[in-house]
Chains A and B, each alone.
Chain A
């Protein structure tokens, strides 16, 4: 396919532009950044995967509480280890780019928040989500009582069908009303 890590084919480049929301410069920059994560011999291999650990060193992801989830969601790895190919990486950047649509952003956001990957955000997911946001230290963490109330409030607002979980369409409904989701669900290299 011409995707050795050190070289990006011209056709491929234009196809990537077609398939993502990225500009040429952004794709090239992404490619450069991706190549930086590789060792020398790896650069010659086509379709190399970068392990999640190495990937999380990127400063753009480093402080993101959902970094692992992001990797997992965008990873096409068979073994579910969160490793990313360059194409996965482009997918990630495309979804997080400026011009990506709300729909696609919310779709991926939903998947990122869906920790157990069962297709809905249930209480467990929400709890993990909140914990990710607040951090795990004792003074920031919510008490169980707070957590319970918070989750019940969230469900009260968003769970339209009252099945105790937030599904994708409910999630998108909520998100689409949010004034600043689009502007904050972005990652810029």
Chain B
């Protein structure tokens, strides 16, 4: 849903990345590759599955989170929920709080994304006992 904001650029980048070089291209048309573009739901499902691995290890969590934050999007609440549960399996509260900080930073100038995420994640946060950075006073210098 949040990727609607940057969908054009995302899809543009994706298709450009997979474009094969076309030498004689008329100016008006674009050379899209014939590879299937992943839908938002497939993307979300893939990441939820990644973090839902029961025996996920710390490296995989790190790699997954760093990659996910590297994308030009704010992850859906269900992906974050899966990631926070992975932190719980790894007994890593600090990383869980760090993930919340990271998605707040990812939202950039769109200040209403983060409150929405917290609202959606509130059941998980209460269940697992994860405090938000705001509750701990860590959102201020």
The yes or no verdict on A and B being binding partners is: no
Mark B residues whose CB is within 8 Å of A. Answer: none
Mark A residues whose CB is within 8 Å of B. Answer: none
